[in-house]
Amino acid sequence: MNYAFFISSISIFFGIMSACAWLYASQVKISREKAVDILKKRAQKNNQIPNLGGVSFDGSDLRETLKAQSKWNSIGAIFASISMLCQATLQIFF
């Protein structure tokens, strides 16, 4: 088995996944209705009264949209670092 090809393939795969996660993060929007559902479920889970206050911008809830973008940006960064680790491994050992 050719380890260099295998590691290179993993690097490419995670690089593509990183790009997809960052592309999705740039486009994700949480509607106000969906945000209210999320807030109600979160409050019910914690046995609290839901705080339904929020800021809407073009029909999207700003707080929940930023949380979703942050989550997908983090996933993209993790995938990018795995890809970089594979590339460094190739440079050092092969």
- CA distances from residue 66 to 34, 35, 38, 44, 63 in whole angstroms, order as listed: 14, 11, 14, 22, 5
pLDDT tens readout for residues 7-16: 999 999 999 9
The C-alpha atoms of residue 17 and residue 89 are separated, in whole angstroms, by 19
Contacts of 18 (CB under 8 A, 6+ apart): 76, 77, 79, 80, 83
pLDDT tens readout for residues 45-82: 999 999 998 899 998 999 999 999 999 999 999 999 99
The answer to whether the CB of 10 falls within 8 A of the CB of 90 is: no
Task: Read off the pTM.
Answer: 0.88
Q: How many domains does the chain have?
A: 1
Find the domain containing 8 and state its range: 3-93
